[in-house]
A and B are shown apart, each in its own frame.
With several copies, the nearest count.
Chain A
Amino acid sequence: MISVYGRKEDFPIFSRKINGKNIIYLDSTATTQKPRQVLDAITGYYEGYNANVHRSVYKLADEATEVYEQSRSNVAQFIGAKNNEIIFTRNTTESLNLLSFTIGDSLRRGDRILITSMEHHSNILPWTRLEDRGIIVDYAGFDEEGHLDIGDLESKLKRETKIVSVTHQSNVLGTINPIEEIGKIVKENDSIFIIDAAQSIPHMPFRVRDEYDFVAFSGHKMLGPMGIGVLYGKYELLDKMPPFNRGGEMIKDVDFHSVIFEDPPIKFEAGTPNVEGAVGLSAAIDYLKVIGMEEVRRHEKHLTSITLKGMEDMKNVTYYGPRNVEDRGGVIAFNVKDVTNVRMNLEKNNVKLDHLYHSHDIATFLDERNVYVRSGHHCAEPLMRSLGLSGTARASYYVYNGEDDAEIFIKSLGELDVQR
């Protein structure tokens, strides 16, 4: 059970003081801090048995290969997949690009891809990349509270829709999408179903289901090191797919003008793999397993409740996304009305309008108080446009945050709420 003060003692960065005060890190949606256990696993790997993996017969290389494949198996178990369905990539972005450059490139003119208006750029641009070739990208919308509009999704799911790719949890609205339900709808249409799980697998229990063809996520967003990501893929699909990058390690046989590729997942891992990253991610998973993913989710819901309540009590603060914490993760995008501003609004023909503080100003204001939130469009510009905004500030929680962080955040925000 996580104490209400979080698990800061495991995370060396939180012993740092800035201007004599603690760091309140509220940007885990962008990247997470690392526990000692993960750092020790990384150093332990390099100090103990670092070597290049596969196809070599000396002791260190045996050990490195074993730890690399054990890490793969740990990832597989964590999400209920088979070992040979786990491909190590750099990050979620690369996992989704791998799909774009393989199954995406096999689509034909007139085929459609269905995504949602709440996607991160990483689940938009790999698909719009194909528009040049006459593939059509459709967007399912969301309602005022930020719930995905399932009716809209169903109506946009056409016979030509070959791929449906949906975020499990929005990195802005926090909305948790009902992927089991969506999976069934997608499979009735015989489309390939892809899940961007960058914001869900780190924060809640997750098991792959028969309806899920591919699932993408990032190590650095779940206490693991940067530079390692995962693509889960159903084996029979992986087996039929062409490889993406080509080079060392991923072949059975190469001649001057011909090649036979390895079986999945190795077929998709060209070049020297990031063994360190795999080992670090595996240690992060071990850390999360000790807490328990139900507990991680419960803890974040608790901090989110406190935060939403605090914001609801403020005069000039608006937050986005579902009101009900059951429907959302621990990421809260918000804005603050600037009641002092008297300038005219250019776009609305110089009519005086509610004026919002720029999100960067909010972030700087909080930065002064050692509270670190993100600001801007959060790599989700189409979502911002749907909301009619150019940006928001965003706070997000993880296992190391405690009630104290939520309280300091709310107190600091309160100072902006009543500024002048």
Chain B
Amino acid sequence: MSWTYNDEVMDRYQNPVKNGRMDNCDIKIDEASTTCGDKVVLYIKTNGNKIEDMRWEGDGCILSVVSTDLFCENSIGKEIRSIKETDDLAFVENFPVKISPGRINCVLLPLRAFRRGAKEK
């Protein structure tokens, strides 16, 4: 007996790789989903229009935590604009497990936060 969430997801939930504060970041985004109680802060270090590093702090459900941690890791080296233009559906499909419709917003949390807060200079 276990979660449908596979081991990849559960491992990352229990041991996220990008969790923790970042001092001297260039962009800091506070995101709170009022309906879910999720609270996440994204810390972003940029290099021109590219992401040099990204970390997060906060709490949420397994899906939003894992999605946020993966998002931080996968964004490194990418252009801010191209990340913002990621298609919602593609983003959800890239998530390591299949998501039921009621949970899609959990997975989208970091992308939405990023779109809202990551302004190009």
Contacts and interface: CB of A to CB of B under 8 A. Distances in A.
> CB–CB under 8 A between A and B in the complex?
yes
Contacts of B13: 341
Contacts, number: 82
Interface in A235-267: 252-253, 260
Interface in A375-407: 376-377, 384, 389-391
B102 A390 contact: no
Which of A342, A346, A357, A367 gathers the greatest number of chain B CB atoms within 10 Å?
A346
Contact of B59 (A58, A252, A260, A346): A346
A415 interface: yes
Which of B19, B62, B65 gathers the greatest number of chain A CB atoms within 10 Å?
B62
Given A341-B14, A342-B14, A364-B4, A391 B36 contact: yes
Interface in B31-61: 34-39, 41, 57-61
B1 A415 contact: yes
B37 A391 contact: yes
Interface in A27-76: 55-59, 61-62, 65-66
A1 to B, nearest CB: 35
Dominant SS at the B interface? mixed
A55 B38 CA distance: 14
Interface residues on A, range: 35 or more
Nearest to A367: B100
Interface of A: 55-59, 61-62, 65-66, 252-253, 260, 340-347, 350, 355, 357-361, 364-365, 367-368, 376-377, 384, 389-391, 415, 419-420
A62 B102 CA distance: 6
Given A65-B101, A358-B62, A360-B36, A346 B4 contact: no
A55 B19 contact: no
B58 A252 contact: no
Nearest to B4: A368
Nearest to B21: A350
B15 interface: yes
B41 A346 contact: yes
6 contacts: A343-B59, A361-B62, A364-B103, A368-B3, A376-B36, A377-B35
B36 A342 contact: no
B19 A66 contact: no
A252 B39 CA distance: 15
B25 to A, nearest CB: 15
A361 B34 contact: no
A260 B32 CA distance: 13
Given A253-B35, A376-B35, 4 more contacts: A66-B101, A340-B14, A343-B59, A368-B3
A340 B62 CA distance: 12
A359 B101 CA distance: 16
B106 interface: yes
Contacts of A391: 36-37
A357 B10 CA distance: 12
Which 8 pairs across A and B sit closest by C-beta, in order of nearness? A390-B37, A358-B61, A253-B34, A57-B102, A415-B1, A360-B61, A361-B62, A62-B101
